[in-house]
Structure 1
Amino acid sequence: MFGELNVPLDPKQPFTDYTRWRLRCSEGGRQIWHYLQDSELSNWPQTVGDKYWLGLPTELPELPPATDARSAARRGFEFYKHLQDADGHWPGEYGGPMFLLPGLVIGTYVAGMGFEEAERLEMIRYLMNRASPVDGGWGLHIEGHSTVFGTALNYVAARLLGCSADHPVLVRARETLHKFGGAIGAPHWGKTWLSILNVYEWEGLNPIPPELWLLPEWLPVHPHRWWIHTRNVYIPMSYLYAIRFKAPEDDLILSLREELYVEPYDQIDWVNQRNNINPVDIYSPHTRLLDMLNVVLGSYESCAIPPIRRKALDYCYNLIVMEDENTAHSTLAPVNKMLNLVVRAHVEGPDSLTYKLHEGTRRDFMWLGAEGMMMNGTNGSQLWDLSFISQALVESGFGEEEAVRPHLIKALEWLDECQIRDNPKFYKEAYRHTSKGAWPFSNRMQSYTVSDCTAEGLKAVLYLQEQMSYTPKLLSKRRLCDAVDCMLTMQNPDGGFASYELVRGPKWLEFINPAEVFGDIMIEFTYPECTTSVITGLAHFKRVFPDYRRDEIETVTRKAIKYLHNAQKPEGGWFGSWEFALHTPLCLLLKACHSSTRPKIDGGWGESYQSCVQGVYVQHEMSQVVQTSWATLALMYAKYPHREPIERAVKLVMSRQLPDGSWAQEAIEGIFNKNCAISYPNFKFSFTIWMLGKAHDLRFSPPQRSATNRKSLSKLAMSFNSSSENNSGVAREDAAAYLRNASFSRGDGSAPSAAVTAADLLNATSFDPSRLHPMAGISDKLDYLALDDEKTNALPGAGTALPSRGWSDDLCYGTGTTYLSGEKYAWCAIIAFGDVGSIYRGTNGVILMKGLALGGLYGFERAIHPYVQCIEFKYRCVAGKHDVWGSMAAGGISGAIYKSTAGVRPALAAAGIMTGLAGTWSTIPLERKRARVFTPHVVAVLKSSWRTIRFTSVLRVAEPSVEAELTNSTLRISSSSLGQLLMVTRGHSSTTSTGSLRKRGSRKRCYISACQLKRTNPFSPRSQFISLFYDLPPTDSSPSPSPSPSPSPPPTSAPTRSAQGGAPHPFPSQSHSSGSGSSSPNLPSHTIAADDEGRIYYLDVVQSPERTAEFGNAVLSRLPLSPPLIVQLVVRDRSGDVVQIHGELPFLVAHIALLRENGAQVVETPLAAIRL
C-alpha cells in the first residue's frame, strides 16, 4: 500500500499521464477522479471539463472579440457551459488549506488503507508545487507563510506517500522545520495528528477529555453549544486522546521521529511541550482562562474515573456513528471525516462494512488540478456554484436564449435532486439543526443545513421555475415553503443569520479556543453574508407566494435589516467572514460605495485575505476580476448614480477575458475562521458573467432625469449625509454636484385638452380615496420605524410603580393578572402537592423564559402553567371543592393591580369588587359548574363486576409544556407528547346517579397522539379528534369466548405468558368473529371495555401487513407501530352476538402488546378505538 517511490525532481510537469484521468460525477453530485488503464481509454473519452481542470488544452476555438459588456458575458458562458457536468451541476475545486491533505494521508496510513500509485504521485507533486519558494516550507494555506503546522504535517505526508527523505524538496523543508525548533512547536491540531501517527506523545497535548459530553446540556460549555465544525472534530479527537491511540511502530515511523525533531525523541520532555506553540503559527494565543482550564483538566486526567471514562467514550462513539449514518459516511468536512475513519477502523476492523464505506467516500474529497492532487475543504461546492450561475444567467437576460435553455433545465433538475427532503435519521440525537427543505453547500448526501446556501438555492429555483417560460415545475410549492420554514428557524436574537444553525453558546467561549491557529471557532456567529442571502431569498419568495407566512417573513426581514445596519463598519463596509471582499448580495446602504474600499487606478477592486487576518482593509497588489465583479454588482444593485466607476470596472473585466471566453485564475477568493484562505475558482465565471450582463442594461439604458429621479437623488443625498465623518464631505459634494449638473427638461407631451376638476377625480373609476390618507404608501418605502422610548416618560402614569400609558395599559395589566391569578389560584399548593422535581422545573422554567417581572407576566404564566394546572386539578379532584380564601385573595390582588395606576382608592375599590366575585364563584359546588359547562360522557369503562368505573385523571405531559385534564366530563389537550397519567377512579352502581371517590390510582405510562377522540363541545357543533393511550389492567387469564352477564372478578396485575413461552403478555389470546371481518386464529383478540348498556368492545387483529395501514379514522401510520397492523372494532352484547352500532360511540382507550415473530420480545403498541 505504501512504499518508497521514484519521485521526479521537477513538479511543473505531471508525474502521471494526464490524458488518462477522468472525472466522474454521480449519485447527486459526487466528484471522483479515476485513472484509466489502456483497455478503458477508448470507452471513456476525456471531456472539455476534464481537460480544463487538469490544465490541458481544451481545444475550443477562439471566439470573436467582445464589443460590449453583453457580448463579453455571452463569450464567458459560451466557454463555461462546456464545464457543466451531464447531471446539471458545475464541478470544481474547493482547495486552499494545506492541513487537509496530511490528515487524509495519516488517517489512511494508520487505518491500513491505501492509494493508487498515480494518486500518491500526484499528491506528492501537489505538495512540491505548493512548497514556499522562500524557504521550502508549507503554510496554513496556499498563500500563507511557512509554519510549523504546515511544514511538519506536509513533510510527514510526503514521506508516508513514498517520497525519500533525501529528495531536495524534503531536505529543504526539513531544514526550515529545524529552524523553527522542530515539530514540538506545532499547534494543537498538528500535535494531535502526529500523536495518532505515533511520532509525538499524547502527554505533550493539552487534555481533550470526552467527559465534557456528559455535562448537563444547559451548561454554556457543553460541546453541543460549540460551532458545528469544532464539535465534530472534537468528538473523534477526544475519543482517540482518551484511549491514547497510536499507530504501530515501523521503520518509517521510527525514521520520522528522528527527522522531525532537533533533539533525540526519547529525551524530549513531552509535558513541557503542551503550551509550546511556535510564534509563526499563533493566531489566537492562549488566554489565562484556557491555561487554567488546561491545568484543571490535566489534574483530572491523572486520576480519571474508569466508569465515567468508559461512559464518555461510549457516548462519543455513538455520536461518531450517528454522524456517519446521517451523512452516508461522507461527514461534514475532511478533518472529522478522517478522524471518524480512524476511530471506526480501530473499533470495527478492516472487514466491516463501515470500513469499506469510509474507504470509498475518501475520494469524494480528493481533487486533481493542474498542480497535482489535493484535498477539498468539503466534498465539493456544487450547490454553491450552481446557484450563482443560474441566477447570473437569468438576471443577465440569457435565460430565454435557445442555446442556454438546455443548460438551465439540467441545472433545475440538479437543484431538484439536491434539496434535502427530510431531516437526517439522528438529527436530534446528534444535535443537528433541522434540515428539511434546505439546500446544503455541496450535495444532498452531506445533509447539512446552511442558511445562505438554502437562500441561494431557493432563489435559483424561483428564477428558473417562475421567470423562465420553458422550465418544468419540478419543485412544488410545499417544498419551496419547506425551505422558507427552515430559514425562518435560523434567525438569531440579534436579527442576523449564522451558517449551519443558531448561535448556541456565549461569546466568551472564544476565550477557551484551543486551536491556536483559527479565530471565531468555538461558537456560531451571525454573518452579514448569510443574512443578506436570506433577506433576498425571502424577498423573492414573497413576490411569488405573497400569502405564505407573510407577517413572519416581514418581521424576520425587518430584524435582519436592522442587524445589517448595526453590523456596518464606520467606513461603510461590512466585515466578510467567508469571502473577504464586498459580498455578493445587495449593498443595502449607498454609503458603502464611499468607503475606504476604493477602486484601483485600473478601475478594478482588489482586497487581500489579510483584511480578515488583521481586521482592517488591506489592498491586494493587483485588481481581481472576482472582487471587481462583486463591487460592481453592489453599485448597480444600489443604483449608484455615477456611471464612471462601473464603466471602468466593466472595461477591466473585459480586458482580462481570454480569447476562448474564460478568465485566468487570480488570487484566492475565500476565507474562513479569519485566518485560513480557501479557493472558489468557479466564481471567476459566475460573477463576471452576472456583472457584465447587468452592466449591459445599465450601459444602454441611462436613467431618466425626471422629477421621480430627483426624489431618489434627494434620498441618495440624505443617505450620504448619514455616512461616516471621514467620508461625509466627499459624499455630499458628489451628490450635490450631480444634482447641480443634471438638466431636468420639460416633457414633450402636450398639455391636457381640458382642465381636470375635483368632480372629474371623484367620479373617476380609478380614484382611490385611501390614497388621500397622510400615511398612504408609507409601507412601500419604509423599511422599519424607530420609536424614541424616552418620549413615553412624559405620558400619564409614567412615574408610578407600574408605568402606564392610560386605560389600554390598565386593561392589559388587569386582564393579564386576572387570568393569571384567577385561573392559577392554587399555584401555591405546589408546595403541598408537588414534588421537588416539579418545583425545580417550574422555577427553572420561569428563570429561563421571562423572569418574575410584571412585564413578563405572559412568560411567567407559560412557564408555571404545566405544574400549576396539574396541582390545581389534583386539588380539585382530591378535595372536591375550591379554595375559597385563596380565590378571594387572588381576586383581590388582581383587582388592585388592575387599577394600580389610577390611585390608591380606585385600586382598593377594584380589589373589593374582585374579592366578592371570586368568593361567589368559589362557593358554587364544583360538580354544578362542571355540569353547566361541559357535556358529561363516559371517558373509559372496564369490564369489572359489571360496574362502570369512571376515571377522573390528571395528565402530566413531559414535553412540550402542555397539560391535559381527563375527567368524566372533559378532555383538554393541545399537543402530541409522552407523559404520565395520574389516575383517580370514581365508581358507581347502576342505581347510583353520582359516584363517590373510591381510591387514587398509581402512575401509569401514557401515550398521546393526535389520532382519534370524540369530544362534544356544547357551545360548538364541531368535534375534536384526539386520542389518549395508557396501560389498562390485564383481564382475567382465562376468560370465556362469550362473556356472561354475571360479574367477573376484578382485573389482576399479573401478566400471562405467551403461548410460545416468551415475554409476559398483558392480555389473553382469544378469537372472535364479526360481521365486518374475521380475525386470524393465530392472532390475539382483546376485550377492551364495556358500557352501561352491557355492550362489550373487542379489538381484533385482522392482519399484520408489511406496510402501515389506515383503518377508519384511526391513522395507524401516525402511531409508533412495530410491526404495523390492521385492527377492527367488534361490539357484542352480553350473549356474545355482534351488535351493529349506529351513531356516536363513547370513546375508548386501549393498549395492547404484540409479540415479535420469535416470541421473545413484547412490542408495546398503542391503539385507539375507532368511531363507526
Structure 2
Amino acid sequence: MAAIDRAVEAAHGALGRRQNADGHWVFELEADATIPAEYVLLEHYLDRIDPALQARIGVYLRRIQGAHGGWPLYHGGRFDISASVKAYFALKAIGDDIDAPHMARARAAILDHGGAERSNVFTRFQLALFGEVPWHATPAMPVELMLLPRKALFSVWNMSYWSRTVVAPLLVLAALRPRAVNPRGVHVPELFVTPPERIRDWIRGPYRSPLGRVFKYVDKVLRPAERMIPEKTRRRAIAAAVDFIEPRLNGVDGLGAIYPAMANTVMMYRALGVPDSDPRAATAWESVRGLLVEHGDEAYCQPCVSPIWDTGLAGHAMIEAASGPQGVRPAETKRTLAAAAAWLRDRQILDVKGDWAINCPDVPPGGWAFQYRNDHYPDVDDTAVVGMLLHREGDPASEEAIARARLWIIGMQSSNGGWGAFDIDNNMDFLNHIPFADHGALLDPPTADVTARCISFLAQLGHAEDRPVIERGLAFLRSDQEPEGCWFGRWGTNYIYGTWSVLCAYNAAGVSRDDPSVRRAVDWLRAVQREDGGWGEDCASYEGAAPGRYTESLPSQTAWAVLGLMAAGLRDDPAVARGMAYLTRTQKPDGEWDEDPYNAVGFPKVFYLRYHGYRQFFPLLALARYRNLASSNTRQVAYGF
C-alpha cells in the first residue's frame, strides 16, 4: 500500500495546486479543428482580424493535422471531410500558401473524399456565408419555425437546448443571407470536385432511415413555398428569433454558453445592422473571445468551459483522498472543500425558470449549469454530481441547496424513467432525420450515464419517499444494458464510462452484487482489460468499433473501470489490483498523468471532446477509494459517486 499512499498524496497535491483562489477548478476543454477554424473564419467574416492570434491558431491547426492529410475529429482518428474543409479554409485565410506541402496534402485528401460538397450541414452554412456555395446548398430552415407553437411537430421547443440556441440565430442568418466581409478575398474553389454552381442535389445522405428520404422531398417542396411567405411574416419571425435570443444572451458567458450559438449571435447582430459598439453585440463578441486558450506560440478556441463540472469532479477526488485513516491533509482539504462548496452554492440557479420548465412548469428551479453562468440551461448531470459533493462535504449551509437540487432532479425525470441532460422527454426521434440534422443529435433523450448519476444522488440522500423514482430509473437502466453487458456512454468515452456510471448507481441503490445485470457488467469489464493492467477505449466505438477497446490504456478510463469494479464489491479482485498498478506506474513525478486521446463526446460521429482534467480527477478518486476500502470490513462504497 505504500505505493498507493504515495500516489494519492502526490495526486492530491497536484490537483490542489490547480484550485483557483475563489475555490473553483477549471481545466481546458478541447475539441477538434472545427472550433478554432471557425473562430478564424469568424474574424474574417467580421473583418476583425487579429494577425498575431491567427498565427498562433495556425500553429495549432498544423500540429493536429493527421497523417492522412486531413483533420480527424479526435486524437488518432480517421479523416473527417468537414473538419478538414474548415481547417484548410482557415489556414488559407491565415495566409498559408496552398502549394505548401501540408496544404497540398489536405487538399488532395479532401478531393479524394468527394470534395467540399460532401461536407456536413454546418460546414455548408459556413461556406454559404462566404459565398463559396449557394444558399440552396443548405437545407430549407425557414425562420418562421420560431413562430410555431410548442405542440407543433417542428417547433424549436421539441429540439434540445443546444439545438435551440444554435438554430435561433442561424435561422436569422439563413433568412437574411449576409455575405462575409472577407477583407482578404479568400476563397476555396479548389476544394470542390464539381463547381458549386453546377451541383443540383446537395442533400444526398447518408440517410439513417427511410424517413430521411421522405424529408428530402419535404425539403424540395419547402424551398419554393418559402419564397411565398409574406415579408411581414418574415419580419415577425426574425423578431421572434431575436426575442428568444436576447433574454438568453447570458452576459459574457454567451447564448447557451456554447461556441456555435455564441458565434452565430455575433454574425446575426452584424447581419441585422446592429453596430459592433452596441452593448449586445459587444458582449456577444466578448463571450466568444473568452473561449480562447493561448499557450506560447499556439492558440485554440474551446467549444465552451466546464468550471461547475470540473469543480464537482475535483471535489469528489479531493474529499476521497482526505478520507479514512490515511487521509491526506484532512484539515487543509476541509478548508479547500469548504471554499469549493461555497463557490458552488453561489452558482445554483434559483431565480430563473429556464427552457426546461416548458415541459414541467410546476417544478421549482434548483440546478447547476455546466459553465460559469447558463441560467436558462442547468445541467442535470452537473446538478447530481454537485449535489452528491455538497452532501458528502457536510456543511449545514448546503442543506437548502441540496434539498432544492433533489426536487429539481426528481421533477426532471422523463416518462420512461430515465433522465436527459437538459430537458424532460426530449425524444421526438423523427427530428433527427430531417436534412438539417445530419449530425444526428438534435435531441436530448434520457441516457444511461445521466440516469445513473441521478439515481446515485437520490440514493445517497436516502429519502424513503424517493424509492419509486429510483426504481423507475433502475428499470430504465436494466432495459438499456447492451448484449455484451456494458452500457453506452452518451457523454463520456464510451462503454467503459457508461458501465462505471451504472455500477455506481446500482451500488448506491442497493442492487445486489449477485444481480445478473451486475455480473454481466463485471464480466465485460474484466474481458476488456488490457495486458498492461489498464483500460482504454477508442472514440471509434461511437462509429461501430469494438466497445471498450483501444491501442493503449488511458488513466481516466482505467480509473472508471476500477471504480466500477469496486462499486460492484470487487476491491480485492486481481483485475483491480492490476489497474492500480497501472495507475501508480504511469503517474509522473509531479503527481499528474498524461493523456492525449479524447475522453468524451459532444455528438457521436460528429464532435468529440478532451477534458484536460479527467486525467487528474479520476485516477486520484480511484486510487484513494482503493486505499480507503482496504480499511473497510464490507468493502462497500458508501457514496453514490
User: Is residue 651 of structure 1 aligned with residue 581 of structure 2?
Assistant: yes
Task: Report the AA paired with residue 229 of structure 2.
Answer: A
Supply the distance in 2 between the matched residues of 1:343 and 1:94 (Cα, whole angstroms). 26
Tell me the equivalent position of 1:489.
Answer: 411
Structure with a larger share of its residues in strand: 1
1:863-1012 aligned at under 5 Å gives the runs none
Per the TM alignment, residue 264 of structure 1 is displaced from its structure 2 partner at its CA by 5.6
The equivalences for 1:139-158 within 5 A come to 139-158=72-91
Structure 2 vs 1, CA of residues 337 and 431 (structure 1 numbering), >3 Å: closer, same or farther? farther
**Cα shift at 1:178:** 3.1
Secondary structure of 2:29 counterpart? coil
Pair 211,399 (structure 1): closer, same or farther in 2 beyond 3 Å? farther
**Distance in 2, Cα, partners of 1:154 & 1:566:** 41
Match of 1:67 in 2: 2
Q: Does 1:130 align with 2:94?
A: no
The structure 2 residue matched to 1:120, chosen from 50, 54, 71, is 54
Distance change in 2, residues 1:69/1:370 (3 Å): farther
Secondary structure at the aligned position of 1:388 is classed as helix
Mark the CA change 1:154 to 1:125 in structure 2 (over 3 Å): closer, same or farther.
Answer: same
1:78 aligns with 2:13: yes
Cα deviation 1:530-574 (Å, max 9, x = unaligned): 1111111122333xxx5xxx52x2221111111111111222211
For residue 215 of structure 1, report the CA deviation from its aligned partner: 2.8
Letter of the 1:530 partner, please give it. V
2:55 is paired with a residue of what secondary structure?
A: helix
2:471 corresponds in structure 1 to 558
Within the alignment, does 1:96 sit opposite 2:31 as a pair? yes
User: Does residue 523 of the first structure (1) align with residue 453 of the second (2)?
Assistant: no
Kept in 2: contact 1:329–1:358 (CA 8 A): yes
Shift of 1:607: 1.4
Q: Distance in 2 between matches of 1:230 and 1:189?
A: 12
Match of 1:274 among 182, 188, 202: 202
TM-score, normalised to structure 1, is 0.50
Shift of 1:407: 2.4
Secondary structure in 1 matching 2:22: coil
1:437 to 356, 362, 366: 366
1:313 to 226, 238, 259: 238
Given the alignment, which residue of 328, 342, 367 partners 2:293? 367
Equivalent pair of 2:602/2:609 in contact (CA under 8 Å): yes
Greater radius of gyration (CA): 1
Aligned-residue offset at 1:361? 1.3
Residue 293 of structure 1 corresponds to 218
User: Given residue 214 of structure 2, which amino acid in structure 1 is its aligned partner?
Assistant: L
Deviation at 1:634, TM superposition (A): 1.0
Q: Output the CA distance in 1 between the equivalents of 2:218 and 2:237.
A: 19
Task: Report matched runs for 1:1091-1102 at 5 Å.
Answer: none
- Distance in 1, matches of 2:334 and 2:81, equals 51
**Identical residues among aligned pairs (%):** 21
Whichever residue aligns with residue 607 of structure 1, its letter is E
Q: Could you tell me how far 1:399 is from its partner in structure 2?
A: 6.7
Look up the match of 1:352. Answer: 278
1:218 to 151, 168, 175: 151
1:625 maps to which of 555, 559, 564: 555
Deviation at 1:321, TM superposition (A): 1.9
Q: Does the C-alpha gap of structure 1 residues 613 and 78 become closer, same or farther in structure 2, counting only changes over 3 Å?
A: same
Higher helix content, 1 or 2: 2
- Summarize the Cα distance change of 1:223–1:433 in structure 2 as closer, same or farther, 3 Å threshold: farther
Letter in 1 for 2:615: K
Going from structure 1 to structure 2, the CA distance change for 1:339 and 1:248 (only over 3 Å counts) comes to same
C-alpha contact (below 8 Å) 2:44/2:181 kept by paired residues: no
Q: Per-residue deviation at 1:334?
A: 0.6
How far apart are the structure 2 equivalents of 1:616 and 1:493?
A: 31
More displaced stretch, 196-205 vs 161-170: 161-170
Q: Kindly state the Cα deviation for residue 487 of structure 1 after the two structures are TM-superposed.
A: 0.9
Alignment check: 8 A CA contact 1:487 1:534 kept: yes
Question: In the TM superposition, what is the alpha-carbon distance from 1:699 to its structure 2 partner?
Answer: 4.0
Q: How many residues align?
A: 613
Distance in 1, Cα, partners of 2:297 & 2:455: 39
Q: Distance in 2 between matches of 1:591 and 1:85?
A: 42
| Contact 1:110-1:247 at 8 Å conserved across structures | yes
The residue that corresponds to 2:626 in the other structure is 695
Report the equivalent of 2:160.
Answer: 227
Equivalent residues in 2 for 1:562-711 (5 A)? Answer: 562-579=475-492, 580=494, 581-583=496-498, 584-585=500-501, 587=503, 588=506, 589-595=518-524, 597-614=527-544, 616-640=546-570, 643-675=573-605, 676-699=607-630
2:302 maps to 1:376: yes
Judge conservation of contact 2:212–2:433 (CA < 8 Å) in 1. yes
CA distance 1:441–1:559, change in 2 (3 Å): same
Distance verdict in 2 for CA 1:85–1:326, change over 3 Å? closer
Task: Classify 1:669/1:67 alpha carbon distance in 2 versus 1 (closer, same or farther; 3 Å).
Answer: same
SS in structure 2 at match of 1:331: helix
Deviates more, 1:445-454 or 1:392-401: 392-401
* Equivalence for 2:130: 197
Distance 1:85 1:633 in 2: 27
**Cα gap change, 1:558/1:326 in structure 2, threshold over 3 Å: closer, same or farther?**
farther
Aligned CA distance change for structure 1 residues 435 and 442 (closer, same or farther; 3 Å): farther
Higher relative contact order (CA 8 A, sep 6+): 2
Q: Deviations over 1:1111-1162 (max 9, x none)?
A: xxxxxxxxxxxxxxxxxxxxxxxxxxxxxxxxxxxxxxxxxxxxxxxxxxxx
Judged with a 3 Å threshold, the aligned counterparts in structure 2 of structure 1 residues 89 and 513 are, in CA distance, closer, same or farther, namely farther
Question: Is it true that 1:336 corresponds to 2:261 in the alignment?
Answer: yes
Matching of residue 244 in structure 1 with residue 177 in structure 2: yes
Q: How far off its partner does 1:400 sit?
A: 5.9
Please state whether the residue corresponding to 1:606 is helix, strand or coil: coil
The aligned counterpart of 1:533 is: 453
Alpha-carbon distance in 1 for matches of 2:578, 2:250: 52
**8 Å contact kept, 1:399–1:405:** no
Which string of whole-angstrom CA distances, capped at 9 and with x for unpartnered residues, describes residues 156-188 of structure 1? 222333434444332332232333343222221
- Determine the C-alpha separation between the residues in 1 that align with 2:161 and 2:619: 33
Matches of 2:358 and 2:246 in 1, distance apart?
A: 11
**Separation of aligned partners in 2, 1:486 and 1:326:** 25
Q: Is the 8 A contact 1:449 1:501 kept in 2?
A: no
* Partner amino acid, structure 2, of 1:541: L
Point out 4+ residue stretches in structure 1 off by more than 6 angstroms.
282-286, 425-435
Once the 2 structures are TM-superposed, how far is the Cα of residue 426 of structure 1 from its aligned partner?
8.3
Residue matched to 1:454: 383
Contact 2:15 2:314 in 1 (8 A): no
1:51-110 Cα offsets, whole Å, 9 max, x none, are: xxxxxxxxxxxxxxx833232111111222222222222221111233222322222322
Measure the CA separation in 2 of the matches of 1:474 and 1:687. 27
Distance 1:319 1:429, change over 3 A: farther
Is contact 1:205–1:273 with CA below 8 Å preserved after alignment?
no
In the alignment, is the contact (CA less than 8 A) between 1:192 and 1:205 conserved in 2?
yes
